[in-house]
Amino acid sequence: MKHIARKRFGQHFLTDGAIIEAIVDAIAPQPGDAMVEIGPGLAALTQPLVERLGRLTVIELDRDLAVRLRAHAQLQVVESDVLKVDFTALASQLAAPRLRVVGNLPYNISTPILFHLLDHVNVVQDQHFMLQKEVI
């Protein structure tokens, strides 16, 4: 089933296999990593990530895409605006000593997302969790 990118969500979908592979290699996911992907869309990054991780949490705003993603048994799908997600609670739910957050983000939302994530860093660290800060 084809999905047409929705401009209101800033959707853009990766299709170049070489770029996808380079991004996943740069992320270097390891089995057991607690990882959250923001805006998985059509699962271009999601699939190779879950193959390496075994399990992945994804945050998807588009309800049509969230329905598709729920068909993947290895995914925990959070259907929400990422700016409303409580990453402290999510890290606690995943019982993760370190939460890695990745995503192929549109420019118009990347800065607000980074600030939202940074709002959770101190709280998370206070609870002996660490939110890894990396921008690729």
Residue 78 forms beta bridges with which residues? Answer: 59
- 17-64 pLDDT, tens digit per residue, is 788 888 889 889 999 899 999 988 888 899 999 999 999 999 998 888
Domain count, the chain: 1
> Rounded to an integer, what distance in angstroms lies between the CA atom of residue 125 and that of residue 114?
16
Q: Are 112 and 83 in contact (CB under 8 A)?
A: yes
Domain range for 24 is 7-131
- In tens, the pLDDT along 71-103 reads 999 999 999 999 999 998 998 899 887 889 988
Is 136 within a domain?
no
pTM of the prediction?
Answer: 0.78
- Rounded distance, CA 43 to CA 62, Å? 13
Domain with 59 in it: what CATH number?
A: 3.40.50.150
